[in-house]
Amino acid sequence: MIDTTRRTFLKTTAATAAAATLLPGAYAAPDDTLRIGLVGCGGRGTAAAREALRADPKVKLVAMCDAFMDRLEDSLKNILSVKDVAAKVDVTPERKFDGFDGYQKLLEHVDVVLLCTPPGFRPLHLKAAIEAGKHVFCEKPVAVDVAGAKSVIETARLAKQKNLSICSGYCWRYYHPLRETVKCIHDNAIGDIAAMHITYLTGTLWHRGSDPRWTPMEYQMRNWYYFTWLSGDFIVEQHCHNFDKMNWVLQGKIPVAATAVGGRQQRRDPKFGHIYDHFAATLEFDGGLKVFSFCRQMDNCGKGDVNDHVIGTKGSAQLMEFAVRPTGSAERVFADPRAKSMYQVEHDELFAGIRSGKCINDGETAAHSTLMAILAREAAYTGRRLTWKELMASNQNLAPAKYDWNYPIETPRVPIPGTYKFV
């Protein structure tokens, strides 16, 4: 029987059932169906929808939104082709939304929203979702600029007041073997942390071509990876996972400053917008701790290297080997090939929190991890030591003046250190 005193759905007549909404701050009873909406129906969004549908027995995917209808249709086809989730899909034609404002319409139909667009839109979508009283799964990174990250921090505080969830896609925090590894470090197995070396050295990614029918805005949106206002550059878009693991190991310690170098050597074709293809940064912390970060996206450079080395006063650890190595005593390895996928655990815990009323809120931590990557990016772009204080004093906003397919957007110049200005 449903506990009517704490029941979360508005009692509605059949006629208003479609507009029923989960009341923020209350738990969702086990027999309440949670209606899910997906915003950003690309590779990650499609997978996140499947994971959300597997996370709880009483959930339905009822609405989808993408800037482009062709992307939405491909994603829906993909989700419907998967046997164990297909029965939980009820996306009718009137609940498919495209364009820049589709997310607003989608929010009218759902209790939980999965935000999986390029990160440039995340602060805007997250704010709208929390203001509308929705629980959120929010992919990483959570912003591309300082104004966006500050907005996420404010929204995370609002979510806390409303007891709404913000589960971030900084997925390593949801991987059990890494939780044990980091706990062992926090339990002082290798003493105080003196330094970290974090790496994201990989090959190049996709490019979605061009079409004479596309406006400049459509070209940039289709090839969002190569434009900083949409992706944050690859140090923010991809290497941010390592910055988040660093933030986790260092228990939220904020860097004092960063100094960095970077540029583009392979990625010279104008089709690749204006992002770099390599960065190296040093982050300084109070007490002399330093973190050295390397990231590269280039082809034919040998085997990739995505790692997080932790150097302590009494030993070391290698996060991607789930290994903690105290000096003078036996190594401890927490790797577990049977561990559940971190992508699934994110959704399991998100929905468990909604059901119990103990909502996850990763918002502020995710904003800080994102800001640390932005600090390193801006230090490289400018070619000078940039302090956290300067970063936080700025209101850097990279968004175009208008989200409009006919807006005459230009490609900014590739940032040249010594000339580029951080504002």
In angstroms, what is the minimal distance from the CB of 190 to ligand NAD? 27
* Closest to 190 measured CA to CA, from 289, 333, 327: 327
If one asks whether residue 65 binds ligand NAD (CB under 6 A), the answer comes out as yes
Of 51, 111, 139, 180, the one binding ligand NAD (CB under 6 A) is 139
Of 40, 312, 363, 415, the one binding ligand NAD (CB under 6 A) is 40
If one asks whether residue 209 binds ligand NAD (CB under 6 A), the answer comes out as no
Distance CA 51, CA 53 (A): 5
- Of the candidate spans 21-29, 52-60, 97-105, 292-300, the one that interacts with ligand NAD by CB under 6 A turns out to be 97-105
- Of the candidate spans 40-48, 127-135, 183-191, 305-313, the one that interacts with ligand NAD by CB under 6 A turns out to be 40-48
If one asks whether residue 202 binds ligand NAD (CB under 6 A), the answer comes out as no
Token pair 């409303």 is at which residue?
162
User: Helical H runs in 163-239?
Assistant: 176-186, 216-222, 228-231, 234-237
* Closest to 136 measured CA to CA, from 345, 368, 371, 354: 354
Task: Provide the terminal-to-terminal Cα distance of the chain, rounded to the nearest Å.
Answer: 57
Q: Which residue is nearest to ligand NAD (CB)?
A: 42
Distance CA 79, CA 75 (A): 6
For residue 289, give both structure tokens: 């701790």
For residue 245, give both structure tokens: 């693991």
In angstroms, what is the minimal distance from the CB of 38 to ligand NAD? 9
* Closest to 130 measured CA to CA, from 162, 97, 168: 162
Nearer to ligand NAD, 175 or 351 (CB): 175
Token pair 């935000």 is at which residue?
115
In angstroms, what is the minimal distance from the CB of 170 to ligand NAD? 7
Of 35, 50, 71, 239, the one binding ligand NAD (CB under 6 A) is 71
Question: Is-contact 230 224, C-beta < 8 A?
Answer: yes
In angstroms, what is the minimal distance from the CB of 144 to ligand NAD? 10
If one asks whether residue 38 binds ligand NAD (CB under 6 A), the answer comes out as no
If one asks whether residue 312 binds ligand NAD (CB under 6 A), the answer comes out as no
If one asks whether residue 255 binds ligand NAD (CB under 6 A), the answer comes out as no
For residue 168, give both structure tokens: 């971030």
The Cβ of residue 314 has, within 10 Å, a number of other Cβ atoms equal to 14
For residue 124, give both structure tokens: 């805007």
Question: Is-contact 379 260, C-beta < 8 A?
Answer: yes
In angstroms, what is the minimal distance from the CB of 377 to ligand NAD? 15
CA distances to 49, 74, 103 from 80, in Å: 11, 10, 21
Nearer to ligand NAD, 120 or 312 (CB): 120
* Closest to 249 measured CA to CA, from 193, 300, 210, 204: 193
If one asks whether residue 345 binds ligand NAD (CB under 6 A), the answer comes out as no
H or E, element range at 112: strand 112-115
Of 24, 37, 42, 326, the one binding ligand NAD (CB under 6 A) is 42
Q: x/- site string to ligand NAD, residues 145 to 184, per CB under 6 A? A: ------------------------x-x-------------
* Closest to 296 measured CA to CA, from 415, 203, 206, 224: 203
User: Helical H runs in 25-145?
Assistant: 43-54, 69-80, 83-86, 102-107, 122-131
By CB under 6 A, the count of residues binding ligand NAD is 26
Of residues 104 through 133, those in contact with ligand NAD by CB under 6 A are 116-119, 121
What residues pair up with 200 in beta bridges, in sequence order?
295, 306
If one asks whether residue 214 binds ligand NAD (CB under 6 A), the answer comes out as no
Of 54, 68, 259, 398, the one binding ligand NAD (CB under 6 A) is 68
Residue type at 181? T
If one asks whether residue 242 binds ligand NAD (CB under 6 A), the answer comes out as no
If one asks whether residue 51 binds ligand NAD (CB under 6 A), the answer comes out as no
* Closest to 24 measured CA to CA, from 39, 10, 36: 10
In angstroms, what is the minimal distance from the CB of 222 to ligand NAD? 7
Question: Is-contact 241 172, C-beta < 8 A?
Answer: yes
Nearer to ligand NAD, 239 or 325 (CB): 239
Nearer to ligand NAD, 40 or 312 (CB): 40
Of 41, 159, 184, 374, the one binding ligand NAD (CB under 6 A) is 41
- Of the candidate spans 5-13, 35-43, 307-315, 412-420, the one that interacts with ligand NAD by CB under 6 A turns out to be 35-43
Return residues touching ligand NAD (CB under 6 A).
Answer: 39-45, 65-68, 71, 100, 102-103, 116-119, 121, 139-140, 169, 171, 221, 237
